[in-house]
Structure 1
């Protein structure tokens, strides 16, 4: 487990699946997550998905816990040991925790974990250009824009730009680990 001041990153268990199913079936949450078009997914479908995710060797997924409850998830995916890179993904599903710094704290913890425990050289991500709250969070942690794919994603009835961002370990170290 990884501990911050207000959040804990811990392993996901089957007890978290009902809560995660709520989040994954919330259209507003799913549109912000940048994934595929929202569609209804049953607890059984998502249980199978999470069970498989836990088995993957090139990913590390965590539940974000605050105040004793699951508020979302975060993880490192597409781990490339040769290049020492991984993609980070985060979703705060509990809207009561939006815009209050919980995501930023979780991102700092996962970045620290990636650089210090997994010996990564770079962590990268993709997000919709319209997700201003996420962009502010990533920039506050130290991510910089590395590219833009114009009108790349269909989301909420419109085509939006996809922002590519990255954070190098050398920059993280230089910033004093944010």
Structure 2
């Protein structure tokens, strides 16, 4: 477990699946992430979970806040030679949107990526209409590195895909400049 100011990152458990199913079947959550809404079944989710637990090491985390499972985050497409990975995050619990949980989860995941996994760069993509997410990414130090114009179909129109990235040196500089603030390194729980 990895503990931040507001959230704890832990492994995804079988007990999380019913809540995760409700997130995956919520069109508003899918659209916020830029995904095409498509219903899923518990059987499909259980098969996904079985594949997930076979992965070693697991780099997908449940996000817990105030004792509740509110979403997931992950590092994917890890290139150990080049030292980079793609970050993904979904806060599925809409009551938790806008409360800083996503920002804190991103900080904790970046600390894991840079300090423990020895990555040097983390990148992500989001759609240009996702202002809340873009502000959260910028708040922890991500910068826009590129834009794919009219790259995604989102709820009846084409929107840009924004590519953002952060280097280990940038993350560490921000954390070191603000040791009492939001970019402080998270605690690892035992």
TM-score band by shorter chain is: over 0.9
Counterpart position of 1:5: 5
Is the 8 Å Cα contact of residues 59 and 76 (structure 1) preserved in structure 2? no
SS of the counterpart of 1:175? helix
Answering whether residue 28 of structure 2 is matched by residue 38 of structure 1, we say no
What is the rounded CA distance, in whole Å, between the counterparts of 1:118 and 1:100 in structure 2?
Answer: 28
SS at match of 1:138: helix
Partners of 1:43 and 1:12 lie apart in 2 by: 15
Deviation at 1:32, TM superposition (A): 1.3
Query: Aligned residue for 2:136?
Result: 137
Give, in whole Å, the separation in 1 of the partners of 2:125 and 2:55: 20
Query: What do residues 57-101 of structure 1 show as CA deviations (whole Å, max 9, x unaligned)?
Result: 586000000111110000111111001101100000001100010
TM, length-normalised to structure 2:
0.89
Contact kept in structure 2, 1:127 and 1:163, CA below 8 Å:
yes
Q: Could you state the TM-score of these two structures normalised by the residue count of structure 1? A: 0.95
CA drift at 1:43: 0.9
Q: Which residue of 2 aligns with 1:147?
A: 146
Q: Superposed, which structure 2 residues align to 1:155-170 within 5 Å?
A: 155-170=154-169
The answer to which structure, 1 or 2, has the higher relative contact order (CA under 8 A, 6+ apart) is 2
Deviation (angstroms), 1:176: 2.4
1:176 counterpart SS class: helix
Following superposition, the deviation at residue 161 of structure 1 comes to: 0.4
Aligned residues: 177
Structure-2 residue corresponding to 1:171: 170
Q: Give the alignment's Cα RMSD to 1 decimal.
A: 1.3
Instruction: Determine the C-alpha separation between the residues in 2 that align with 1:95 and 1:144.
Output: 26
Q: Which runs of 5+ in 1 are unaligned?
A: none
